[in-house]
Structure 1
Amino acid sequence: MSVPFLLGIEAAGTGVHPASWRRPDSRAEELFTGGYWADAAAALEAAGADLLFVPDSFALQQGGPGVTRGRLDAVAVTARVAARTRRIGLVPQGAVTHTEPFHLSKSIQALDFASLGRAGWEVTVSPGAEQAAAFGRKPEQGHPALWHEADEAIEVTVRLWDSWEDDAEIRDIPTGRFIDREKLHYIDFAGDNFSVKGPSITPRSPQGQPIVAVRAGAADDPATAVAVQRADLIRVGTAEPEALAAQRDQLRAAVTAAGRDPETVFVLADLDIHLAATVEQAEAEVAELNGWHPAETAAAHIGTTDTLRATLVALAGAVDGVVLRPLALAAALPALGRLGHTPPESGATLRDRLGLARPASRYALGGAR
C-alpha cells in the first residue's frame, strides 16, 4: 500500500489556545453556528487537508472566564459540514463512557451516509468526577476501567456496523418487502460493561466500517493497547523525529503481535502550530495570546508556511502523517493553503483514499456472533 504523507487538522473551536477567541479574526461570535464550521472545513479541504478532526467532551473548558466556554456536538458539526465538502475525511470525537455504543454506531453510520463514505470516529473516554456527575448514571472510573469499557464499546459498535449485510435492502415492490430479514443479524454481545443484542436499525454504510482513530500514550497505557487492537489511525504526541520513528516502530510491532497488518494502520503525530508571514510576527502573536491567558506553547511550531513545510519534510520518514493543531484557527487557514500538500486523488471513500479495503460483514461471512 502506498499512501502519501497524511495531513490532518484538528479544529478546536477558534483554536487550541484558550485565548484565541480574542483575536479580531477569530469569528468567535459565530462559533456556535453551522456556517462557522462549514467555512472552516471548506477552507481546510481547499488547502489540501486529508482529515478533519473535531474534538469533543462532556466537560466545560477549564480556565475561568477568560477562555472559550461551551461546545457543540462533534458528530453533529461534521454532519453539517459534510454538504460543504467533497473529499476531506471527517473524524469527530465520540466519548463512550457515558453514551451507549448503539447510539454512537448509528451516529457515525449516519455521518458516513451524509458524507458519502468519508466518516471516521475518534474514540475517547470521559474521565473525572465532573463528567460522571453530569450524567449521574455511575461513579467516576479509573483510567484502566475507562479503556476496558472503550475496548468493549468499539467491539459492539463494529459488530453493529456489520449487523446488516450489504444487500439486506431488497426493496421488492411485488412482495412488499423492503429488507431481507435473513440478512439482518443479532450481535448477541455480552461483556463486562455492555449486553447488546442488536441488530442495528441503520443499514450498512458506504465504507462498511467507518475509520476508527485512537490516541495512544506510553507503551503500557491501556489506551495504547486499545489503539493497537482496534484503530486504523493512531494519534501520538509531539516529539523529535527520532523519537517518533521509534514510537511508530513499537506501535507497528504491537499491531503485528495483535495479529493485524501494520501496513493498514497509520501513525499520526500531533503538532501544535501558529503561522504568520514571518517568524517574528508569529512569535509576537503567540506572546499576545499568552498575555491574554497563559498557556503551554513551548512545544508548538511557531513560524511560517516555509518553516512548517521543512518540519513536515523532516517528519515524513518518522510517521505516516501529522495532525496539525492550530493555536488560532483563523490564522492557520490562509497559511495552510500555501503549504502545497497534495492529497490522494483516487478513491471515492476515505477508506479508498487510505488504501484500506472495505471489510465484508462478519455475519455475511459466517463470523462469530
Structure 2
Amino acid sequence: MSRRLITAIDIDGAGGHPAAWRGAEVDPAAILTGELALRAVQRAEAAGVDFATFVDTLEAPVDEPERVSARLDALGLAARIAPATDRIGLVPTLTVTHTEPFHVQASVATLDYVSSGRAGWLAEVSSSEEAAAVIGRRAPAAAAETWREARYVVDVSRRLWDSWEDDAIIRDAATGRFVDRDRIHYVDYESPSFSIKGPSIVPRPPQGHPLTVVRVSSPEALQAAADADVVLLPGSAELAEQLAAVREAASTTPKVLLSVSVLLDEDTASAVRRADGAEEVDHIGGVQRLADLIGEWAAQGVDGIHLRPASLELDVPVIAERLLPLLRERKLIGPATSRPTTLRNRLGLQRPTNRCAVGSKA
C-alpha cells in the first residue's frame, strides 16, 4: 500500500477506562498536574504519532468515589504540553455552544503560535441542561441547532484568522510602526446567534487556519463535517456507508479517521479483567489482531486511525513500541519523522489562502 495512514491518539485523564487511574502503575496526582498526559504525548511523538486529541466537556465529571471527579482544561493542557514537544500535533476539544466564538478562535490561534504551527481544535457542542446551568448564559438547545451554530463558529473563526494578512506585522523600530493597518481587516459577521466585527486580537496563525476536527457521532454532527479538515468516525459495522455519507456531506475532501477505543493485552484473561467496568471498548486483545483490523479499515478507504487507549500508562507504550512498528512493517504508515513541521504539512494539507489578502479569490 502506498497511501500513508494518519495516526492519532486520544488523551482523556488516565485513559478512556473509568478506572484507569486506579491502576498500580498510575500516580493519581500526575493526572491533575498534566505529567501523565505529557508522558503519553511524548511517547506518542517519539513513536511517530501524527497528532493527539484532548478530551473536554463543559459538564463537571461525575462525583463518584471510584472516578476522578476533576478534569484539566483541554486547551490549557495542550498549551502546557506544546513547549515540551516539537513534532506531534495538539488538538484540544473546545465546546462552542456556550463559549464566545471570538475567544475560541483567539485561543486556538494562540496555541498555534505556542506550538509553532502544530495546533488544531476539535469542535464540540452541548445540548445538556447541566452545561447550560454551569455557564448560565442561555437555555439548552436541540442538537441540530447547536451543530448549526457550530458551523457558524468554524466559519467566523477562519474569517477572523484571515483578518490579519500574513505581512501585517512590520516591527519597524526606526519609524515606530508595529503593524500595517491597511492589512488588518474587519469581518462584520452576523449569524442567528452572534455577531462579530473583528478584527482578531491575534495575528494570523502560523498555519493560516489551525486544523479543524469534527467527531461525527450523530446525524446532526455529520452536517458539520462539511467544514472540517479532519473527521473522526466512531467504530461501526457500517463503515462503508459512513465514509460515503461524510464524502457526500463535505464540500472539500477531509481526512477521515476511524476512532477506536483499545485495550491492548495479549493475555485474554488479563484483558477481560482490565475491561471490567468499561461501557464499551472497540478492541480488546492483542496487537497483531488490531494491526489486521487497521489494514482492513484502510482497504475500505479510511485515511487514518484515531486510537483511544483504555489506560495511558499501560496501552500507550504498547501502541508506541509494538503496534506502530508493526504497521510500518506492513507499510500502512510512514517512518517516524524527526523533523519539526506544521500539522497541516504533516497531514498533507495546504496552508489556506487568506481571503482578505490583496488579489485573493477566496
Q: Name 2:284's counterpart in structure 1.
A: 302
For residue 293 of structure 2, the aligned residue among 308, 311, 320 is 311
Pairwise CA RMSD: 1.9
For residues 60-71 of structure 1, the aligned pairs below 5 Å read 60-62=60-62, 64-71=64-71
Letter of the aligned partner of 2:347 in structure 1?
Answer: L
Q: What number of residue pairs does the alignment pair up?
A: 350
Deviates more, 1:178-187 or 1:102-111: 102-111
Seen in structure 2, the aligned counterparts of structure 1 residues 173 and 200 have a Cα distance that, compared at 3 Å, is same
Is the partner of 2:65 in helix, strand or coil? helix
Is the partner of 1:10 in helix, strand or coil? strand
Letter of the aligned partner of 1:236 in structure 2?
Answer: L
For residue 240 of structure 2, the aligned residue among 233, 236, 245 is 245
Measure how far apart 1:362 and its partner are: 0.6
Measure how far apart 1:365 and its partner are: 4.5
Letter of the aligned partner of 1:192 in structure 2?
Answer: P
Q: Name 1:231's counterpart in structure 2.
A: 228
8 A Cα contact 2:261 2:308, kept in partner: yes
1:349 correspondence with 2:342: yes
8 A Cα contact 2:112 2:207, kept in partner: yes
Is the partner of 2:84 in helix, strand or coil? coil
CA distance in 2, matches of 1:196, 1:368: 23
Measure how far apart 1:306 and its partner are: 2.0
Is the partner of 1:37 in helix, strand or coil? helix
For residue 315 of structure 2, the aligned residue among 323, 328, 332 is 332
Q: Name 2:306's counterpart in structure 1.
A: 323
For residues 1-369 of structure 1, the aligned pairs below 5 Å read 4-62=4-62, 64-218=64-218, 221-228=219-226, 230-240=227-237, 243-255=238-250, 258=251, 260=252, 262=253, 265-286=254-275, 290=276, 294-297=277-280, 299-318=281-300, 319-337=302-320, 338-339=322-323, 340=325, 341=327, 342=334, 345=337, 348-365=341-358
Is the partner of 1:82 in helix, strand or coil? helix
Identify unmatched segments of 5+ residues in structure 1: none
CA deviation map 1:325-361 (0-9, x unaligned): 1111211122012211545747711111111111121
Seen in structure 2, the aligned counterparts of structure 1 residues 58 and 97 have a Cα distance that, compared at 3 Å, is same
8 A Cα contact 1:268 1:321, kept in partner: yes
CA distance in 1, matches of 2:191, 2:361: 15
Measure how far apart 1:142 and its partner are: 1.1
Is the partner of 1:39 in helix, strand or coil? helix
Letter of the aligned partner of 1:253 in structure 2?
Answer: E
Deviates more, 1:20-29 or 1:120-129: 20-29
CA distance in 1, matches of 2:59, 2:121: 19
Measure how far apart 1:276 and its partner are: 2.1
Identify unmatched segments of 5+ residues in structure 2: 328-333
Measure how far apart 1:94 and its partner are: 0.6
Is the partner of 1:201 in helix, strand or coil? coil
CA distance in 1, matches of 2:299, 2:76: 35
8 A Cα contact 2:14 2:31, kept in partner: yes
How high is the TM-score relative to the length of structure 2? 0.91
How high is the TM-score relative to the length of structure 1? 0.90
Measure how far apart 1:58 and its partner are: 1.2
